Structure 1
């Protein structure tokens, strides 16, 4: 009986040790994720929006781009969506495009979210998280401002207020 208890405790201890080792490894290697540098060319990508239209970042050269990464489960993301939508309506005819990149959720879930919030700007889904990885996204929401030359001029993580969204779109307006 004692030997069996000792074996069980040893197995549990090994599992806990492995979990701690993995957590430490994940935290230390997380910093090595390549983050997009300010002033450098934004990584190009091609994603399809909810209407089936293709969006290639490089097609927006000559225009400013407000690139927002989000998830339906993210309450701060949900809070800023109406602000982004309001400013999108103001800036879309002034050369500032908005692209909202959903991180790996189903089309059904994203469509329900869009219907509930009546959003008008293009929303794409990064199904395999390649764009998320290319940009080195950490916590959501995350927003990149890309100038008309295609260079990243700002990175912001956390909830945006409507005045911040307006200011950010002004920064990348051609």
Structure 2
């Protein structure tokens, strides 16, 4: 069984710290990064559509793919250094929420971080991809704050009570 550590730009340090604290000593650790190819694909399409099919060396999508690979390599290296123990790298491409859920199949634990609003407690602290992962993960999920958690006073108020039966609402 493995512990999957989803390392995403902006939130990965908290996930690595949580793995150091919560993953069992003998657990197989997997650093997971997913590159969403939508931006590079859009650049490829724009280049082909607007500028024709020749001169592949000028295709901005190819440059974006190279930059994404270099950034991912740097992210893996820094995450491994901070983790302080061996980990396998898993570098996937596609829609992050789909790839993370698939990668978590058979895992003992998935560690991910909140990626939405960080100033308040509540459902908006999860971005759409992380919300999907939390809702669909096929294993237990450890959800961490990327920074210190907001104060309890930031908890949203409860919804208003429903109207009594037979009375119309407001």
TM-score of the aligned structures, taking structure 2 as reference length: 0.35
Give 1 or 2: higher strand fraction.
1
The TM-score normalised by the length of structure 1 is 0.34
